[in-house]
Amino acid sequence: MKRMFFNKKRYAKENSELDITSLLDVLVILLVFLLKSYNASDLKLDLVKNLTLPDSEQRKLGSQNIVVQIDKNQSVFVDNQLIGSFSQGSTQTKLMEILKNDEEQKPTKKVINLVFDQDTPYSIIQQVMNSSSQVGYSQFKFIVKGNY
């Protein structure tokens, strides 16, 4: 019986190596993709057409609140929905109504994100800020294009 075990041909153990070069390539690509798509802010903003953002050196990011955008044609958008133009008289009233409804739904958030075209006259910026403050928004975040 012992002879049967000893008579078996013994095969030499081969050293097996694992090639991980392709695995490392995939991991590097994933790492680059994840770093490129990383965003430190919770703010996600879809800009309307005809809107050119002014430049800024500030690096502090906005937060996810209601967004009011004014484009080159002085059209007013609230959360990407057109509500009118400042050339019409009722747009400021509509803006105040929408902001008041949003403020009643989210009473703890008193911050509003404002996005203006770089050529927007100061009088319109002042009207939007005045309307917002009358409704109850006490903090303004101006969204601009960063150069970093």
pLDDT, tens digit (0-9, with 9 covering 90-100), for 11-38? 656 667 777 888 888 999 999 988 887 7
At 66-123, the pLDDT tens digits run 888 888 888 888 888 888 887 777 777 888 888 888 766 666 668 888 888 888 888 8
CATH code assigned at 68: 3.30.420
Q: What angle do CA 70, 106, 88 make, to 5 degrees?
A: 30
Q: What is the pLDDT of residue 12?
A: 59
Position 21 in a domain: no
Question: What pLDDT score does 42 carry?
Answer: 63
Written in H, E and C, the secondary structure of 4-17 is: HHHCCCCCCCCCCC
Among residues of the chain, what percentage have pLDDT more than 90? 3
3-class DSSP state for residue 34?
Answer: helix
135 in any annotated domain: yes
In a domain, 97, yes or no: yes
Range of the domain at 119: 55-146
* SS3 state at 21: helix
Nearest to 53 by CA among 134, 106, 115, 10: 115
Helices (H), 15-144: 21-37, 91-105, 122-135
Do the domain assignments include residue 15? no
Helix axes of 122-135 and 91-105: crossing angle, nearest 10 degrees: 40
Task: Give the count of domains, the chain.
Answer: 1
Paired with 141 in beta bridges are 113
pLDDT of res. 60: 55
DSSP 48: P
| In-domain check, residue 39 | no
Q: How high is the mean pLDDT of the chain?
A: 77
Express each pLDDT in 52-68 by its tens digit.
766 655 555 556 778 88
